[in-house]
Amino acid sequence: MRLSVIGCGYLGAVHAAAMASIGHEVVGIDVDERKVASLSKGEAPFFEPGLQEILTEGIASGRLSFTTDMSAAQGAKVHFIGVGTPQQPGGYAADLTYVHAAVDGLLPYLSEGDIVAGKSTVPVGTAESLAPRVFDRGATLVWNPEFLREGWAVQDTIDPDRLVAGVPSADGGPTEEGARTADVLREVYHPSIAKGTPFIVTDYATAELVKVSANAFLATKISFINAMAEIAEVTGADVTTLADAIGHDARIGRRFLGAGIGFGGGCLPKDIRAFSARAEELGRGESVAFLREIDAINLRRRDRAVDLTVQALGGSVFEKKVTVLGAAFKPHSDDIRDSPALDVAVRLHGLGADVTLTDPAAIENARRIHPQLTYVEDRDEALRDADAVIVVTEWDEYRRELDPAHAAALTAGHIVVDGRNCLDAAAWRAAGWTYYGMGRP
């Protein structure tokens, strides 16, 4: 099928390449000339495992192209909107400028019967408000949220847990138009549906809410375990054992019970804030008032990691050499948006520490925003002569591959703060380190 994808950031670029990889003919459109130039050469503009391969393959096959020219959308049957919805400056609500610009820019090129499929994360009610403009062109609007995780984006796009389509509905079910639209999306995602991926057809509001409530739930799970870490810290309990134990209950599950410096990235923080803002607009602020607490718990864990480092170094980090392992908001990503890892590094620097930071993928991005830190590509070089080491992103390079005895031979002091509870505490202690975990004795 001929498809267009408007917006070629993390979401759109992966979506475009993934759709080409399953056989569609795709044009990706973005206003950013540099991004388009890089994608057109088959170069991924950000680190995402597997993306490079499907980009190169798609371009070589002739099924995938990128342009800044919106008119290239003409002739596509489905037009995906994958632009960003960042947090508004000075507020919690989502900024929908790019969504409106994408839809308005696309309108002149829509043909009768086309489908506009919104993938961006938007406040509930957005699709309803956009729909008339699309219908006026004889096209249909569907909301088809994306649940991809960075680092697994290609796999999550080709083989998602579930597909959700919010279509025009009336009287508790899809209209005729809505049902037809759902069928076209079934065709688009045929390879995945044929493998048994659930395809849920619903109304606009439910589809929009599925996305934000999923992210709110994940954020809540992380902050829940981090709240338990705070209690563990005053009682001498170990939150990692606690998470293992409660995680054995299938109703709870162990995933997303990793206590540490908390969640960050381009989605969870902004999405829970936008959800709170939207609920308030709807007069239902109290229903999600707990999300403010989730946010507050999350931010407190960064303070805790900084305080632990200060305590471990005898009450001050001033002029102490602190090596920070990690800058990305999570492993397998070069994304530093709202990264707790980078925030901890910057705060330590602000307290006078001589911070050396390393990361397998995110140094370039981090340096651009925080040039005041010292960046070292080589992990061992970064560790040399450190008074303390703090792990803030659980890359395998630190979690599995860093031998504590090897590290001990490089550093001056032997203090390690495990901001992600990802190290083998016993092994580090055995190698002579004083180990500090998050919510662990």
* Site for ligand UDX, rule CB under 6 A: 147-150, 215, 218, 222, 256-258, 260, 262-265, 267-268, 329-330
**36 vs 259, beta carbon nearer ligand UDX:** 259
**135 vs 290, beta carbon nearer ligand UDX:** 290
Distance (Å, rounded) from C-alpha 175 to C-alpha 111?
20
DSSP characters for 15-56? HHHHHHHTT-EEEEE-S-HHHHHHHHTT--SS--TTHHHHHH
**In angstroms, what is the minimal distance from the CB of 330 to ligand UDX?**
4
Q: Is residue 258 part of an annotated ligand binding site? A: yes
Is 267 part of the annotated catalytic residue set?
A: yes
Count H helices and E strands in the chain, helices first: 18, 16
Of 267, 327, 388, 425, which residue is the catalytic one?
Answer: 267
Sort 351 into a burial class: Cβ within 10 Å, 0-12 / 13-18 / 19+: middle
DSSP conformational letter for 255:
T
**Residue with the shortest CB distance to ligand UDX:** 258
**106 vs 219, beta carbon nearer ligand UDX:** 219
CB atoms within 10 A of CB 245: 11
Q: Is residue 149 part of an annotated ligand binding site? A: yes
**110 vs 218, beta carbon nearer ligand UDX:** 218
**In angstroms, what is the minimal distance from the CB of 68 to ligand UDX?**
26
Q: Is residue 148 part of an annotated ligand binding site? A: yes
Distance (Å, rounded) from C-alpha 185 to C-alpha 146?
13
**In angstroms, what is the minimal distance from the CB of 120 to ligand UDX?**
11
**In angstroms, what is the minimal distance from the CB of 338 to ligand UDX?**
8
Q: Is residue 121 part of an annotated ligand binding site? A: yes
Distance (Å, rounded) from C-alpha 385 to C-alpha 332?
27
Q: How far apart are the first and last CA of the chain?
A: 57
Q: Is residue 342 part of an annotated ligand binding site? A: no
Which residue has 């086309």 as its token pair? 114
**In angstroms, what is the minimal distance from the CB of 96 to ligand UDX?**
18
**28 vs 258, beta carbon nearer ligand UDX:** 258
Write the single-letter amino acid at 371. P
167 torsion bin: left (phi>0), alpha (psi -120 to 50), beta (else): beta
Q: Is residue 309 part of an annotated ligand binding site? A: no
Cα four-point dihedral sign 54, 60, 62, 64: positive
Q: Is residue 41 part of an annotated ligand binding site? A: no
**Pairing verdict, β 2-6 and 415-418:** unpaired
- Residue list, annotated binding site for NAD(+): 30, 35, 85, 121, 150, 270, 337
- Residue list, annotated binding site: 30, 35, 85, 121, 147-150, 211, 256-260, 264, 270, 330, 337
Catalytic residue positions? 267
